[in-house]
Every structure is written in C-alpha cells, then in structure tokens.
Chain A
Amino acid sequence: MSSPVAARFVGSAVHRKEDRRLLTGHGQYVADASAPRMVHAAFLRSELAKARLNSVNIEAAKSAPGVIAVFLWSDFHEKFGEAWHGMLGEQLVVPPPLAIMDVRYVGDPIALVVAETRALAEDACALIEVDYEPEQATVDYASAAADSNVVHAAWGLPSNVMVEVPFTPMSADLDETFNSVEHVVETTIVQNRYLCVPMETRGVLASWTPGLEELDLIVATQSVHETRNFFARYLGLDEGAVRVTARDVGGGFGQKMFVYREECAVVLATKLLGRPVKWIEDRLENLTSAGHSRNELGKVRMAITADGVIEAITVDHVADVGAYTPCPAVMDPTLLPGPYRIPRLGFSTQMVWTNTMGKAAYRGPWMFETTAREMAIDVAARQIGMDPAELRRKNLLSLAELPFTSPGGKLFQEITPLETLEQALGMLGYDEFRKEQAAAREQGRWLGVGICVYVEPTSMEQATLATEGATIRIESSGKVVAFLSTTSHGQSIETTMAQIIADQIGVGYDDVTVVQADTQSTPYGPGTGGSRTAVIAGGAAHDAAVAVRDKVLAIAAHMMEAAPEDLQIAEGVVAVRGTPDRSLTIKEVATQAYTNAHTLPVDVAGGLEATIRFKPKRFPTWSNAAHVCVVEIDPETFIPRILRYIVSEDCGKMINPQVVEGQIFGGVVQGLGGVLYEDFRYDTDGNPQTTTFLDYLLPTTGETPLIEIGHLESVSTTNPGGFKGMGEGGAIGAHAAVANAVGDALAHLGVNVTSTPLGPEQIFELVQASQKERA
C-alpha cells in the first residue's frame, strides 16, 4: 500500500546531528567514561622483536604504590574459552592475551598492570624485570617465505607462509597472449606500511559485576554486536549477560573492526578483580601495537597490443601479515583488472609472517589491486610511449557497454569508469596541463599529473556482512526513534539514516533520533565497515520506515474512515489526498495507537513500531571513481607538493552530498599521506623507528590541497534508495594517483616510480640513481 515518497531530505546537505556534541568537545569516547571503583591498566610490552622469555619478575611491581594487580599469562591461562570473531570464523583465533613463553614483535604484551591511575601503572611496568633471550627476527617480508628463520617456529610451523595460492591463470590462453602481443610490461610495485591512525586510540572500560555475573563494556569498536558475541563466547556467558556500547568512536578505518588481545586481557582482569578496569591505549601503543596495514608488493605483467589495448594482466603478490594478524585482509587479485576491459587475468598470492605488528584491515583492505594496476599502467605508458590518460581511455569500461563480466568473475553494472575519467580530466583541463607541464620543464620546474581509476566493491556479503537491521518506533509524542544495527565511528550515520527515515515516514528531520551501538537496544549488526551503511543499513532504515508508515496509514484510515491508499503523510500530517482539511497529525495517530489501542480494528495490534532486516538484491554494490592529482617537485630540495587534487566519483544517489564529500576528503588525505608522509618503519632487527607523531608524519591541513569533487549519479538497483557505498574509495584511489603524479613529474629524467613512500629522500635517491645510470 506504500506509495513512493518525494525525497525532501535525501540528497541535501542537512546539518549533521553529530556536529553539536562533536564540534563542541562533548563527544562521549571511552576516555570520557568512568565507573565506581574503576582502576586503570597498562601493558608491559616486549622491547624485542623475537626472544624467549627466560623469566619475568613482577615482585617489585606488585608492591609499587597504587598497584592493584599484576597479571602474567599464567594468571589468565584456562580462564577463557573460545576466542574467535564472527566475521573471521573459528579458524582465526585471537592470540593469547599475554605472551606465553616468547615474544614475536616489539609491543607483544607480556604483563598487565592494574593500578589506581594509569601513571602509577606505568611506574609499576618500569619495575618489572624481563630476562629475554634474544633471537634473530624475520623482518623483510619479501624474503620471509624463503627464510628458514621461522616466526612461529614455537608453534611447530615449517615456514613463514600463512597462505599461498600458486599461480592461477584465469584464462586458458594467457601464455599465448603474452607471447603474441607487441608490448610486455613487467614491473614490481611496492606499497609501504602505513596505518589507520584513528584520532581516538583503542580503549575499553570493562566492568564485571559479581553476583549479577554480567559484563559491561564501553569500547572503541566498529561493532558492538560482534564484540558482545566474542566476549560471550570468551567467558562462556549467554549473549544477554554481556552489554557492549560505544556512544562515540573517534575513527576506526578497519583497525577497530575486530577484537584484540589487549581487550581480552582487560576483560579477564575485570573478571578476576571484580571491579571496573579501564585501558586507554596511548599513541605509542597505537602506532606500534594496533593493527598495521598496506605493506604489500606485486610483480605485475601486462600484455599490450601495438595500439594500446591491454590484453592480459597478471600479478605475483606478496603481503606481510606480521606476527599475529588481527585481520589478514590483503589484496583481492580477482579485482586486479579493475574497471578495465582487460580480458585475461592470472595471479599468485603469498601471505607471510614476520616479527612485526600484524596486519589489520584499513579502508579498502583489498586496495593493493588498484595500487598495483594503476602504478603499472603508468609504467606501461612510459614504456610504450603512450599518454597515460590515453592508455586508460582505450581500455576503460563505460556505462553503455555494461553489464561486463571480468576475467576475475566480477559482474560489473551501474558503474561509470570512463565517464568519471573524462569528467576528472575535464575538470583539470588535461591537455592544457600537458602544455603547461612542457613549458615548466623548459624552465627547470618539475610538474606531473597522476591518474587512478578504480571500481569499489561496496556492501559485500562475506560471512556476517550481508544484512543490517532497523527497529523504528513512532513514540506516543509523534517523535521517531530509530534503533539501528550500526556502530558509527565517524560516518554521520545519525544524520544520513535520519534523512532516509524522515522522508519515508513523512516527518521532519529533527523529529528523528537515531540510536545505535548499544547491544541492549539495537538489532544485531556485523559492524560498520566495508562501505555498507548507505546500502544495507540504509535499506533496513528505509524498509522499516515504510513499514511504520504503513501502520500509521492503517490506523489513520480507521480514524478517518478513509482508505489507506487515499492517505498521504507530509511534514507530520496525515491527510486525505486532494482533501487537505481532512487530516490528523502523526501525534494524534500515535496517541490512538498507544493509548486507545483497544478501539482499533481486530487486525491492527496497536503501537507504531517495526523491525526489518535488509539484504541487498545482489553483492557487491559497485561504485567507482577517477582521481587526478597534480604535483610539483622542487628540483633542488626534492620536496613534492600537491597543486591540484580532483575526484570524479559515482556513488549513485547521494543521501547527503556533504557527507559524501567528507568521506572523500578523509580518504584522499589518508591515501596521499601514505605516499608523501606516512611510513611506518622497522629496522632490520624489527625495532620500530616511527613511534611518535614526530616521526610518523600525518598530513595536516597545511599539507592538504583543496580537493575538487565532481559527481556522477548512476543509480544502483541493489537497494531501494539507489545508493552505493563510498566510504573507502578516497583512500583506495589517492595512493596511486599521487604516486603516479610524482612519477610523471620525474619521467623526463628517466625515473621510473614503482614504489612508495615518495618523500624528498626517496625522490632524491631516484633522481640520483637515474643520473648515474644515464652518465
């Protein structure tokens, strides 16, 4: 009986519901929470990348001022049960909360000190004496597979290979193609290790209440529900005995999607002590001991015809997963051909352990396929003497030729790769730029343009990810409360979901309150990540709002003695179509629904509430974008500077353009940071070298260019709103766009850029090496 509703709020940049509290410093993060009798935790962490623990002496620490308890592995042994996360499955077990006999990376937790204050806990950590027996660490992932020095030898593993997929041709004529084309381009692309770096570090306030036998967690997480399920299993409790909340989370980017051993240790501590324990990770810990990301390489081969048609692409891929990986998410090689018409594909993959911090998901965890392909395309363009924009143009898919099934088995539809490239190049004035670049080179200035085009699989279906839920209730006041399955960590979910709900019910945006991230009031959700909220949670919010609207109409029809299909709702008023003086406010309907439900027809139960789960029609929901970046490199100092940054994107129907652009801004800054500034380094013994913001450099506003955005809207049919996910694309596209711009700026010097980072030192070395080679 629902009729389509004209969007009033969807599509407009309404003010963000989150802004008042966040921008005035009233966000509620874990550090803001407290509990009676709360005590504070600090970890003593390994200073060595690989060592046996001969002994750990905690006697002095136990009697230090303010210390409540000092825990070692032996205190936690056999105090917990299953330790696996619903999205990753039973095979991937979270490592023990504290090191058992040995340490395998710098930062490996050895002891947990609980004290009256964090400072006193740190004082006590300094009193713990660890007798290490150092061993040689394995740090270089490119050689780790062949290294006989095995990271997990103590588990009896024979090598450092966690997962290996031997070379798999996805097309029968792969070899013939490489043998028959004019150009075979072969290059090894290397992407450096850089990190999520959320503004809010990890943190948890864990409260076990003896007698009640209940666990309450306030935690910086992307998924309250999966955190609850995890700890229910971990402590052998019913899910109902565990409550997890996360009022505000200051960024996650994938790092907070899963459960970490530190959180396990804090939960065990509160259980053993019977009092609330709070752990707020400090920045040193977050940089060294929260999940690390990127750090992958691939030998890419491309077969290209004389006129620039890419006939095949292959990759031999290696990814570093560190010692213990919170989420072994690496490149998806089946996405390697991206949004191109490339008919043939082959790949091999190797995931290797090293004595470094483990791999975690990071905004577009599969994205090395884009980095590898797009950087390799620029290498190819230089090699075959074709303009990189032209080479892409020749091979990119356009909307008109879809659907298209890629050799990786991806069915592309409703995407606009060529169209976004043309829009972005038009925004730049690509041909004019090439003239400007040539003139600048005459003057000794190094300008370059970089392009990256990609297709983004959003709203994927793996494991728990396929559905989200929403409960929407119109209260007796007529106001709307939506209980969503999401856990926002900065996605403006309260805003965008309220826009959808207000439109579908027919009430004001300000009449809708969104509640999320509380396991005791909201429907189950797998966690916010993977660019799933607009499509899947948005679908749930949409459908639940429609269901509630239908209840309003049913009751109003009874009250007005009209047919429901003759009614419409606008701005909180139910009226008979064409007869606006016959109307009721939603509040009047709600009063009827709640306080006079006995007068309703027998088949109308009363109340105005609906719970709906939503699953998209297909997986994934594709979105796409093209990035174009212009850099200038100072030929004397080798300092790169971004002059222009352009994104043309297609995320389907936009719920809120400001939120869309905010997502792009944030993602682009993370991507350009990974090329120009951010680089997490270990020395050859596995000692971290960039452990503070003095050495791990984040781009700030000063380094961030104006980001110009063009929008295309090809509507998705996977969900009722026509939305597509777009949370990760900025970070996916920016890396190769910036790296390619640097490469283009140096191309006339004979430099071939194939790896990142590209700070002044690396650019200097590339130029020096090229000059030596030419001399």
Chain B
Amino acid sequence: MKPSQFQHHAPEQIGEVVGLLAQYGDDAKVLAGGQSLIPIMALRMATYPHLVDIARVPSLSAITASAGSVKVGAMVRQAHAERHAAVATVPLLAKAIPHIGHFQIRNRGTVGGSIAHADPASELPAVALALDARIEATGPGGVRHIDAADFFLSTWQTALDDGEILSAVEFPVWGAHSGFGVEEIARRKGDFALVGALAGVTLDGDRVTRACITMIGVGSTPVRCHDAEAALIAGGATTDLDEIGRIAAAPLTPTHDVHASAAYRKHVSPAIVRRALTAALKEARS
C-alpha cells in the first residue's frame, strides 16, 4: 500500500497548473486535498507519474460572495467552507459538509476536489446538482462554465476536458423563506451514504415556489428528482411527503455493493426523501 514513485509539482499560478497538465497529459493528475486520490494511489488502483498540487495557488482558495451567489474556489477546505460566513448563505452546502467523512478528512478535503472526483455517494456533487451550481473550468483555452446538471457523467467521470481543472464552483443563494435538509443513512457515522437525500424548498405560505431534491448512493451520479420536485410544487407544503418520496424513488436504479443491495437502497429511498423534505419545510417555516 505504497504509491509508486511520482513527481510532485507545486505551481503557484493557475496558468502553471494548466501548463503542467498540458505538458504531462494522462501522466498527470491534480492533487487537491488528497482524500480520495492518495488512497487510490496507495492501493495502486491508479498510477500517476506527476501530481500537480494546487494547494499553493492563492486564487483557488478564495470564497467570494456576490449578488445571488457564492463562489467557492476549488482548493477551499471543506472544514473552512463549513464555517465561512459567506457559505452560511448557502445553507445546503453548510449542512452537507458535516456528513463528509470525519473531521480529519474535512480538514484536508476540498470542495472542488470532491466535486471533480464525482463519487456518486458524495455529498458535494449532490449539493452542486441540487442548487444548479455552475462549475468553473479552467483549461488551455481559458475559463468556461458548466452547469452542474451537465457536469456529472458517471462514477468518477465529469464533463471536464483533458487538461482542464475545476477551478471554482458558484453556488446560487436562495431567497427568504427557504429551508434545506440533508438526510442520509450510512453504516457508521462518516461512512459513504448507502442512500442520501438533499432537499431545498422556498415557501410562500403553504405554496412551494421552489424545490430541489437530489439523491446520492442510488446511481452512477447524484440523481436530481425532477418529478418529485414538480409534484411538491404542485401539491404545496402540505402534500403527503411519503408520496413525494415514492415519486422520487420510482425511477431509481441503484446498484449493490457489500454494504447494501439495490433492493434495499430502493426500498429505503422514499423515507429518506421524506425526512430531508420534512427538515427543509420545517426550516423554511421557521
């Protein structure tokens, strides 16, 4: 469980990062917090002769609030984001972070690294998808933006092009009377979710004017539950949330692993959605 030899690059400008990625191509990998990459290399599931460490690029560690959104640099540590005043305006992000692993992992793990890694059981890709975040990608051709809805292609696969780095994520800020809930079940605290749901609502009285429901652990990407969102908006805040849960779960085709079967994951999904929505509605009403 020792990684094979690699060269560690420590650029200080985003331009250098992109340059190194162009120079080494498939032999290079971006190193952010290392919480997924390093174990993968130690187990020799993957071998990269060049690691491009982005920890020393100041622009990647910035959190900037602007009208209607908060931009989180790729290298912002999860623990830092969790406690940051600007991130408090994106409650779903702040609520999701404590579910990531253990505090030691969140101290090193980064917001951008988790989203770029695109594990289907991870919380942060789901936050991005739920909130319609915009992914900022920087490559040889400059900066472009990718909607979260178009970003997650499959397990560990994203819409980033070869040579591109995820440089920041812009999370929209929802207005007043909004509430959010994160519910997940894991074998132990800090484990990958067997099934999880992230939900958000905006209320106007009992009217639901905005809703998002995203599930994790139930497919090869985080899954946005559009039909359930539409049913909730149509039915309002007093809708039978079990029914919303069933609508959310109906199209899911989860896979199995040693921790849970596909049937188990599908069976428990409605309740998890209901719990996340219950929390979101409670917060929105308060």
A-B residue pairs in contact (CB < 8 Å), sample of 30: A118-B2, A119-B3, A119-B5, A123-B5, A126-B44, A636-B271, A637-B185, A637-B268, A638-B264, A639-B185, A677-B188, A681-B258, A689-B258, A692-B39, A695-B258, A697-B188, A700-B189, A759-B187, A759-B259, A760-B187, A760-B194, A760-B264, A761-B264, A764-B261, A764-B263, A764-B264, A764-B267, A764-B268, A765-B261, A765-B264
Contact between chains at B264 and A284 (CB < 8 Å): no
Contact between chains at B185 and A760 (CB < 8 Å): yes
B153 within 8 Å of A by Cβ? no
- Contact flags A261-277 to B (C-beta < 8 A → 1, else 0): 00000000000000000
Whole-angstrom distance between the Cβ of B284 and the nearest chain A Cβ: 23
Residues of A within 8 A of B5 (CB): 119, 123
Q: Which residue, A699, A703, A761, A768, has most C-beta atoms of chain B within 10 A?
A: A761
A299 within 8 Å of B by Cβ? no
Mostly, the A contact residues are loop
> How far is A638 from B258 in the complex, measured between Cα atoms in Å?
16
Whole-angstrom distance between the Cβ of A687 and the nearest chain B Cβ: 12
Contact between chains at B191 and A697 (CB < 8 Å): yes
Q: Which of the four size classes fits the interface of chain A? A: 20 to 34
Contact between chains at A123 and B4 (CB < 8 Å): yes
Whole-angstrom distance between the Cβ of B173 and the nearest chain A Cβ: 32
> How far is A700 from B191 in the complex, measured between Cα atoms in Å?
11
Known: A637-B272, A760-B194. 15 other contacts (CB 8 A): A118-B2, A119-B4, A122-B44, A282-B1, A284-B1, A636-B268, A636-B271, A677-B187, A681-B258, A690-B258, A699-B188, A702-B188, A703-B188, A760-B185, A764-B261
**Which residues in window 513-570 of A have CB below 8 A to B?**
none
- Contact flags B261-281 to A (C-beta < 8 A → 1, else 0): 101100110011000000000
> How far is A638 from B260 in the complex, measured between Cα atoms in Å?
11
Interchain residue pairs A-B with the least CB separation, the first 9: A119-B2, A636-B271, A282-B1, A702-B189, A637-B185, A761-B264, A764-B264, A761-B260, A637-B268
Contact between chains at B187 and A697 (CB < 8 Å): yes
Residues of B within 8 A of A638 (CB): 264, 268
> How far is A1 from B102 in the complex, measured between Cα atoms in Å?
61
B190 within 8 Å of A by Cβ? yes
Contact between chains at A703 and B189 (CB < 8 Å): yes
B contact set with A: CB distance below 8 Å:
1-5, 39, 43-44, 185, 187-192, 194, 257-261, 263-264, 267-268, 271-272
Q: Which residue, B44, B187, B194, B260, has most C-beta atoms of chain A within 10 A?
A: B187
Residues of B within 8 A of A759 (CB): 187, 259
Residues of A within 8 A of B189 (CB): 700, 702-703
Contact between chains at A637 and B44 (CB < 8 Å): no
Q: Which residue, B3, B4, B188, has most C-beta atoms of chain A within 10 A?
A: B188
Residues of A within 8 A of B194 (CB): 760
A283 within 8 Å of B by Cβ? yes
Whole-angstrom distance between the Cβ of A691 and the nearest chain B Cβ: 9
A contact set with B: CB distance below 8 Å:
117-119, 122-123, 126, 282-284, 636-639, 677, 679, 681, 689-690, 692, 694-695, 697, 699-700, 702-703, 759-761, 764-765, 768
Residues of B within 8 A of A679 (CB): 258
Contact between chains at A700 and B271 (CB < 8 Å): no
Contact between chains at B43 and A284 (CB < 8 Å): yes
> How far is A283 from B43 in the complex, measured between Cα atoms in Å?
10
Contact between chains at A637 and B271 (CB < 8 Å): yes
> How far is A690 from B187 in the complex, measured between Cα atoms in Å?
14
Whole-angstrom distance between the Cβ of A25 and the nearest chain B Cβ: 16
> How far is A119 from B263 in the complex, measured between Cα atoms in Å?
41
Residues of A within 8 A of B259 (CB): 695, 697, 759, 761
Residues of B within 8 A of A681 (CB): 258
> How far is A10 from B187 in the complex, measured between Cα atoms in Å?
41
> How far is A264 from B194 in the complex, measured between Cα atoms in Å?
42
Contact between chains at A122 and B188 (CB < 8 Å): no
Residues of B within 8 A of A702 (CB): 188-190
Whole-angstrom distance between the Cβ of B216 and the nearest chain A Cβ: 15
> How far is A702 from B263 in the complex, measured between Cα atoms in Å?
27
> How far is A122 from B190 in the complex, measured between Cα atoms in Å?
31
Whole-angstrom distance between the Cβ of A656 and the nearest chain B Cβ: 31
> How far is A765 from B262 in the complex, measured between Cα atoms in Å?
12
> How far is A761 from B259 in the complex, measured between Cα atoms in Å?
7
Residues of A within 8 A of B44 (CB): 122, 126
> How far is A760 from B193 in the complex, measured between Cα atoms in Å?
13
Contact between chains at B188 and A700 (CB < 8 Å): yes
Residues of A within 8 A of B260 (CB): 760-761
Residues of A within 8 A of B4 (CB): 119, 122-123, 126
Across the interface, name the chain B residue whose C-beta is closest to A40: B2
Residues of A within 8 A of B264 (CB): 638, 760-761, 764-765
Whole-angstrom distance between the Cβ of A200 and the nearest chain B Cβ: 15
Across the interface, name the chain B residue whose C-beta is closest to A700: B188
Whole-angstrom distance between the Cβ of B1 and the nearest chain A Cβ: 4
Whole-angstrom distance between the Cβ of A215 and the nearest chain B Cβ: 27
> How far is A690 from B258 in the complex, measured between Cα atoms in Å?
8
Whole-angstrom distance between the Cβ of A128 and the nearest chain B Cβ: 14
Residues of A within 8 A of B261 (CB): 761, 764-765
Across the interface, name the chain B residue whose C-beta is closest to A681: B258
Whole-angstrom distance between the Cβ of A623 and the nearest chain B Cβ: 31
Whole-angstrom distance between the Cβ of B255 and the nearest chain A Cβ: 13
Across the interface, name the chain A residue whose C-beta is closest to B257: A695
Whole-angstrom distance between the Cβ of B88 and the nearest chain A Cβ: 26
Whole-angstrom distance between the Cβ of A321 and the nearest chain B Cβ: 23
Residues of B within 8 A of A123 (CB): 4-5
Residues of B within 8 A of A689 (CB): 258
> How far is A761 from B254 in the complex, measured between Cα atoms in Å?
14
> How far is A283 from B2 in the complex, measured between Cα atoms in Å?
11
Residues of A within 8 A of B191 (CB): 697
> How far is A158 from B263 in the complex, measured between Cα atoms in Å?
41
Whole-angstrom distance between the Cβ of A356 and the nearest chain B Cβ: 16
Residues of B within 8 A of A117 (CB): 2
Whole-angstrom distance between the Cβ of B75 and the nearest chain A Cβ: 25
Whole-angstrom distance between the Cβ of B28 and the nearest chain A Cβ: 19
Across the interface, name the chain B residue whose C-beta is closest to A636: B271
Residues of B within 8 A of A695 (CB): 257-259
Contact between chains at B43 and A692 (CB < 8 Å): yes
Across the interface, name the chain A residue whose C-beta is closest to B274: A636
> How far is A729 from B1 in the complex, measured between Cα atoms in Å?
34
> How far is A775 from B259 in the complex, measured between Cα atoms in Å?
28
Whole-angstrom distance between the Cβ of A571 and the nearest chain B Cβ: 47
Across the interface, name the chain B residue whose C-beta is closest to A763: B264
Residues of A within 8 A of B2 (CB): 117-119, 122, 282
> How far is A369 from B185 in the complex, measured between Cα atoms in Å?
34
> How far is A118 from B5 in the complex, measured between Cα atoms in Å?
12
Whole-angstrom distance between the Cβ of A453 and the nearest chain B Cβ: 29
Across the interface, name the chain A residue whose C-beta is closest to B195: A637
> How far is A761 from B191 in the complex, measured between Cα atoms in Å?
15
Across the interface, name the chain A residue whose C-beta is closest to B42: A282
> How far is A561 from B191 in the complex, measured between Cα atoms in Å?
73
Whole-angstrom distance between the Cβ of B150 and the nearest chain A Cβ: 29
> How far is A764 from B264 in the complex, measured between Cα atoms in Å?
7
Residues of B within 8 A of A122 (CB): 1-2, 4, 44
> How far is A559 from B264 in the complex, measured between Cα atoms in Å?
81
Whole-angstrom distance between the Cβ of A63 and the nearest chain B Cβ: 16
> How far is A284 from B264 in the complex, measured between Cα atoms in Å?
28
Whole-angstrom distance between the Cβ of B185 and the nearest chain A Cβ: 5
